[in-house]
Amino acid sequence: MRTSWMLAVGAGVIVGVGALGACGSGSQGPAGPPGKDGQNGQTGPAGSAGAAGQPGKQGPPGEAGASIVISETAKHGLDISPVPVNLAGLTGDQIEAVGQGSYLVNAIGDCTGCHTSDPTKFLAGGVQFGGGAAPFTVTTRNLTPDATTGLPHDVQNVTQFVNVMRTGADYHGVGDGGAPTTTLVVMPWAVFRWMSTSDIQNIYAYLQVIPAVSNAVPDDTKPPIPPAAFAASYGDGNQSAAVPLPPETDVQGNAVADPGNVLRGLAIVPLSGITPPSDPGAQALFGRGAYLVNALADCNGCHTNPATTNPANTKISTTMYLTGGAVFDTPPPLQPLLHTVRAASANLQGSSKGFFTEPTMQFSTFLTLITQGVHADDPPPQAPLAFPMPWQTFSHMQLGDLEAIYTYMSAVAAQYGKTALTGAADKTIPAPALYCDTKVACPTGMKCSSASAAGECLAPTCVKDTDCAVCQTCGGASTGCATMTGTALAGCVAQGY
């Protein structure tokens, strides 16, 4: 049955047509189009890290930097520097200068022996000399590049540094631009002035790149001796006339080569009549050795007593040249460690008692002495070298330089020591005075001068003073050796043997 209906609403007409047949649900129509995406949900927690990926391929090599080539000596100098050096931004030539300077400072010149009072403050100065009855009290300078208390505080440039080494000019406390009016005391500038200008400049280059240490040193108290002018000729020995130094520059200002400063060494031999070997190699070693001994290592300063003919001049006492006898007190803090109280420098050139005039002397003996610090010319047990012999410093020298020193010293011994250094100059040097206390015993057969405090070891029997140790006296075969005291001890230390 068909059903229809019609509804009138206002002017419009809506016509509805019902389903045919009985009432029920119609079939499902097709799906409508997708709805719009909903809003994003909240971010979930981070997941765990995944496994590492494989390394990428190696990139191409970068551009090669500029090659820096330095000498074997400079490389050795850098290797033996006890402190790191700042080479950042330096050219190859500048690094060469630093290395050469380190070699001079740390293998030959023993600058640390006077300019380092604390092992943690390398070359920061602070060691005092003089005082008491001495006519001066001086303190070694801070040589580090600390702007306030170090070398730049005193010496503003390399030109002033060369002037210090050549004339002894003391810039301490003068101020920028001031002119020095006094001379350094104790500092062996009278020896160092014979160095070549380039070696002095190399030392300065090294001192500019070591670690800066803040360590102010007090002003000196000393006689007002003005600096001396530097003369380009050597006359500190027994020569009849001063010997001109070889030129360092030509008429156009270009450097004149003197490999190893051999020519300079030949010019600064303090003894007249010494003939260098004729063989070119041996002659070069002789000249280099003379340079090391007489311009750098200051062997004369310790091994000639007195070192000069007069305290007011720099003339070497050639009648006692390198025959030893200068006395040195071991600093009290070092006495228990080194087991010495005092010692005298060795006789190196005396006609029969000198080290280099011994009939059995050979290079291996000298090499052992320098590198091991023992009296290699004595039968075992070989006693250690006493303070202040800086064998630890000298052991850093290259083999060629040690051979050069041996060649020079042996030639002097053969031509001068055996013939001219006789009698009073051929000295018997007593053994070092050994330290003892309640914990440090004396060698077998000796007794300590004090049973309850620090003292020195005494031999129980003797015939003469030189049978006893340095600055001890002999009381006879039954009494043995005794310590010196008071003015007698002070006189012995000051005058030596």
User: DSSP of 190-211, one letter per residue?
Assistant: HHHTTS-HHHHHHHHHHHTTSP
Could you report the per-residue pLDDT of 287-309, keeping only the tens digit for each? 999 999 999 999 999 999 999 99
- pLDDT tens string 152-188: 999 999 999 999 999 999 999 886 677 899 999 999 9
How far is residue 7's CA from residue 13's CA, in Å, rounded to a whole number? 6
3-state secondary structure of 442: coil
Q: What is the mean pLDDT of residues 388-413?
A: 98
Res. 26 pLDDT band, cuts 50 70 90: low
Can you give the pLDDT at residue 276?
A: 97
Q: Where are the beta strands (DSSP E) in 18-165?
A: 128-130, 137-139
Does the pLDDT of residue 135 top 50, yes or no? yes
- 236 three-class SS: coil
In the structure, what pLDDT confidence band is assigned to residue 2 with cuts at 50, 70 and 90? very low
* Total Cβ atoms within 10 A of residue 271: 18
Comparison of pLDDT for 43 and 18, the residue scoring more: 43
Q: Does residue 8 register a pLDDT over 50?
A: no
Give the pLDDT confidence score for residue 4 in this predicted structure. 40
Give the whole-angstrom CA distance, residue 259 versus residue 461.
55
- List, for residues 415-434, the tens digit of each pLDDT value: 999 999 999 999 999 999 99
pLDDT at 24: 54
Percent of the chain at pLDDT > 70 equals 94
Q: Do residues 155 and 175 touch, judged by C-beta distance below 8 A?
A: no
pTM of the model: 0.86
H/E stretch holding 267: helix 262-267
* Per-residue pLDDT reduced to its tens digit, 447-474: 999 999 999 999 999 999 999 999 999 9
Among residues 349, 308, 343, 348, which one has the least CA distance to residue 326? 343
pLDDT beyond 80 at 352: yes
Beta strands 481-483 and 472-474: pairing type? antiparallel
What is the structure's pLDDT at 19? 42
More confident residue, 76 or 31: 76
For residue 252, is pLDDT > 70?
yes
pLDDT tens digit sequence for 213-249: 999 999 999 998 999 899 999 999 999 999 999 999 9
Burial pattern 5-37, b for ≥16 Cβ within 10 A else e, equals eeeeeeeeeeeeeeeeeeeeeeeeeeeeeeeee
Structure tokens given for 55: 């390394």
Side chain identity at residue 111, one-letter code:
C
More confident residue, 41 or 362: 362
